[in-house]
A = this chain, B = another copy of it.
């Protein structure tokens, strides 16, 4: 079973989940302003929506880039691998929902619940991405015969940190939701910079999360 169609399906889910994020900006737009507020005022008070959109879009973008790198090392798929990938994509496609909650509630009573829900979703995403990778890599099960051992070790080494980092930020969010939200943004930004600035010289080892 080759991996071409798997990548098409995965890319479809990544692209749709990322694009649906705009509904989390549009869906409840204006609810931050009092009734009768000007559109300008509504646009200004909605800034957490824009930030949440950017953070979640970049997060899905990084996942996509890394999925790209992982699949480059993989030769073929078996049905177990397909089912784990379906589970992984299921969590990725869930991201727009807690994104909307954070955007809407970060300044309200529900800030803690919203950021914790967001954090649990990202922790599960990272955990399932680990499952995808380690199922394929364990004993070289699905790897290409010519997969570079150093790249494989590099991915393994960086991936294991993902779920724990998200779990840690989620715990921060449970205590201080704004600090947690800043943490999720900072972590996404870290990967973007890590990938694009430092990734250039060691482009092989930098496949992350």
With an 8 A cutoff between CB atoms, is A51 at the interface? Answer: no
Cβ contact within 8 Å between A39 and B109: yes
Chain A, range 25-39, C-beta contacts under 8 Å to B: 25-27, 29, 38-39
Cβ contact within 8 Å between B5 and A5: no
Contact flags (1/0) for A43-63 with B, using CB distance below 8 Å? 100000000011001100110
A19-B13, A26-B97 are known contacts. Are A86 and B105 too (CB-CB below 8 A)? no
Residue numbers in B under 8 Å from A42 (CB-CB): 110
Residue numbers in B under 8 Å from A110 (CB-CB): 38-40, 42
Among A39, A84, A110, chain B packs the most CB atoms within 10 A around the CB of: A39
With an 8 A cutoff between CB atoms, is A152 at the interface? Answer: no
The chain B residue sitting closest to A100, CB to CB, is B26
With an 8 A cutoff between CB atoms, is A16 at the interface? Answer: yes
With an 8 A cutoff between CB atoms, is A147 at the interface? Answer: no
Cβ contact within 8 Å between A195 and B22: no
Cβ contact within 8 Å between B9 and A8: no
Q: Would you give the shortest CB distance from A20 to chain B, in whole angstroms?
A: 7
A11-B12, A80-B199 are known contacts. Are A93 and B40 too (CB-CB below 8 A)? no
Distance in angstroms between the alpha carbons of A20 and B25 in the assembled complex: 13
Cβ contact within 8 Å between B39 and A114: yes
Cβ contact within 8 Å between A203 and B93: no
> Which candidate, A64-72, A158-166, A179-187, is the interface stretch facing chain B?
A64-72
With an 8 A cutoff between CB atoms, is A129 at the interface? Answer: no
- Shortest 3 CB-CB distances between A and B: which pairs? A39-B110, A12-B15, A61-B86
Offer 16 A-B interface pairs, CB within 8 angstroms, sorted by A: A1-B68, A1-B203, A8-B8, A12-B15, A17-B22, A21-B93, A22-B93, A26-B97, A39-B109, A39-B114, A42-B110, A43-B117, A53-B94, A65-B82, A79-B199, A83-B196
